[in-house]
Structure 1
Amino acid sequence: MGKVLKIVQPKTWKEYFSDFLLEKQIAGCRKRTLRDYRYHITRFFDGLELEDWEGIQERLKEYFPPDLAPATFNIRRAYLKAFFSYLVKQGAIPQNPITFKKRKDEGKARAIPQEVLKKLLELPNKATYTGLRDYVLILFTLDTGIRPKEALSLLPEHFNLEAREVTVPGGIAKTKATRTLPLSPLTVQWLKKLLKVRPPEWGDAPVFCSQDGKAILETSWSHRLASYSKRLGHKITPYDLRHSFALHSLRNGISPFALQRILGHTDLTMTKRYLALTQEDLQKEHEKTSPVNFFTTKRMRKLR
């Protein structure tokens, strides 16, 4: 009797992706990064197989339209390129189809007017836990310029309210570098109130958690701010609060180097975005207040 030959079926992209995620997990990728890989890869490959090379090429055109924002474009590119590189290494595909470069992201920081920020802080109902949490989180972000994800990951142990400071550990910080941020007395006062209403059974839940003592996602916080935005008639995102801290601090005289350390920028490149905008402010103020305007106006009257 002859030998029975087993026909080994090629692995599907899902099988490769499972191995890929395991490799990333062992390498120390954060839970959020793994979650983002799942989102982008499964969304891209929906209805596709590795053998469908033409389909992959067409999907790339759909997934990276010309009008896609640079930040979104670069995020999608990074996750897909990493997985495609893995597939090439495993011999599953002949080459990485991501051959295009990243798009230059100039970024657009904007400061929310102070009168709008004041109205925003009046909206949360501080008589409820979620309203109190929202109020303190807005105040805390405006006081520190912390990134939304970093703020939502902070635990009670990271705060030293007597010293009026909070430490953002490397495991939480985007740059993986620990930094300590100063806190204003008003922010400390409200943080104490928020921590005081926490039930003991919440234990080590994040400081800015849900009413059930569970961590909340950055998207959930964005939705909360979106609901306030509708009532306010002014669009506000979590990163708008960070940008407002940076721009208002520069206008009030903070050193760019101090701002760089507080914001957690690895160098001054990102901080310069805010400096450029304050330079625009300077030009506008100069146009309005220059003494030359007096002479120009006077001369124009004479010419008339």
Structure 2
Amino acid sequence: MKDPLTEDEVRLLLQQPNQRQYAQYRDYVMLMLFIDSGMRVQEVCALDVEDIDLTTRCVHLPASKNKNRKSRVILLSAEVIRLLQELITETRQYFDTNVLFVSNFGERLTPDGIRTNIKKYAKRAGLRKTVSPHAFRRFYAKHSALNGMDLFSLQRILGHADITTTRRYIQLNNEDLVQQHNQYSPLSNVLRKKRREY
């Protein structure tokens, strides 16, 4: 069992990059992408500009860039698409490249480089738990499920071959269970409907 990130911790992490500096703005956009998509760090590193469809707001991840060698489509929020578009424009001012996330020298970022940067932001935020790119993947899975996404859709988005793998990502604590019970309790629904009838 991993200690998953909370929403407050994610908000705190997002406050750490100084968006006035190119590298930290790039990291901010990347954190937003991790949170919004549940993508693996290797997949994010492998992204090229042509993998992003700004019109349909999705990532077309080809089989060659996917862990299980099956292509998949990952939908993105309007906010993340806007940030990616801004990053692409800014990157092209400095570098002649189609790589989405580049270093200060115009080279493709590596998973180790991304892990190092995330640890730096976690330390700056004062978080005591281990924060890695995979922590955002677990956060995405758990909160998508808590917000009502069905397990089969989540499995496809995460690119899991087996649904038991997806289930392991959703670790609910007692507080989560209380919240879910309060929201979905059959008795609460019965009583709400009964009150409306009177």
TM superposition score category, shorter chain reference: 0.7 to 0.9
Paired residue for 1:82?
none
Following the alignment from structure 1 to structure 2, what is the Cα–Cα distance between the partners of residues 136 and 256? Answer: 27
Matches within 5 A, 1:250-289: 250-275=145-170, 277-278=171-172, 283-285=177-179
Q: 1:168 aligns with which of 32, 43, 61?
A: 61
CA RMSD after TM alignment: 2.3
Q: Compute the displacement of 1:168 (Å).
A: 1.0
Report the residue type matching 1:113 in the other structure: T
Q: Compute the displacement of 1:206 (Å).
A: 2.0
Report the residue type matching 1:191 in the other structure: L
Higher relative contact order, structure no. (Cα contacts within 8 Å, ≥ 6 residues apart): 2
Structure 1, residues 41-87: CA drift from partner, whole Å, max 9, x if none?
xxxxxxxxxxxxxxxxxxxxxxxxxxxxxxxxxxxxxxxxxxxxxxx
Following the alignment from structure 1 to structure 2, what is the Cα–Cα distance between the partners of residues 288 and 180? Answer: 33
Report the residue type matching 2:158 in the other structure: L
Following the alignment from structure 1 to structure 2, what is the Cα–Cα distance between the partners of residues 258 and 286? Answer: 19
1:246 matched to 2:141? The reply is yes
Q: Compute the displacement of 1:202 (Å).
A: 3.3
Structure 1, residues 171-202: CA drift from partner, whole Å, max 9, x if none?
11000100010010110111111011013673
Structure 1, residues 227-267: CA drift from partner, whole Å, max 9, x if none?
11111111311110111011111111111001000000012
Report the residue type matching 2:146 in the other structure: R
Structure 1, residues 85-134: CA drift from partner, whole Å, max 9, x if none?
xxxxxxxxxxxxxxxxxxxxxxx444311111111111111111101110
Larger Rg: 1
Paired residue for 2:194?
none
Q: 1:191 aligns with which of 80, 84, 90?
A: 84
* TM-score, normalised by the number of residues in structure 1: 0.56
Cα 1:288–1:258, aligned 2, differ >3 Å: closer, same or farther? Answer: closer
Following the alignment from structure 1 to structure 2, what is the Cα–Cα distance between the partners of residues 233 and 214? Answer: 30
Q: Compute the displacement of 1:288 (Å).
A: 9.3
Structure 1: 5+ residue stretches without partners: 1-107, 291-304
Decide whether the 8 Å contact of 2:37 with 2:75 is kept in 1. Answer: yes
1:124 matched to 2:53? The reply is no
Q: Compute the displacement of 1:161 (Å).
A: 0.8
Q: 1:224 aligns with which of 117, 123, 126?
A: 117
Matches within 5 A, 1:63-142: 108-142=1-35
Q: Compute the displacement of 1:164 (Å).
A: 0.4
Decide whether the 8 Å contact of 2:118 with 2:133 is kept in 1. Answer: yes
Decide whether the 8 Å contact of 1:111 with 1:248 is kept in 2. Answer: no
Cα 1:136–1:201, aligned 2, differ >3 Å: closer, same or farther? Answer: closer
Report the residue type matching 2:152 in the other structure: F
Helix, strand or coil: the match of 2:156?
helix
Q: Compute the displacement of 1:169 (Å).
A: 0.9
Q: Compute the displacement of 1:204 (Å).
A: 3.8
Q: Compute the displacement of 1:211 (Å).
A: 1.6
Decide whether the 8 Å contact of 2:57 with 2:77 is kept in 1. Answer: yes
Decide whether the 8 Å contact of 2:50 with 2:98 is kept in 1. Answer: no
Identity of aligned residues (%): 29
Helix, strand or coil: the match of 1:233?
coil
Deviates more, 1:128-137 or 1:108-117: 108-117
Cα 1:145–1:229, aligned 2, differ >3 Å: closer, same or farther? Answer: same
Cα 1:121–1:219, aligned 2, differ >3 Å: closer, same or farther? Answer: same
Decide whether the 8 Å contact of 1:109 with 1:273 is kept in 2. Answer: no
Decide whether the 8 Å contact of 1:250 with 1:278 is kept in 2. Answer: no
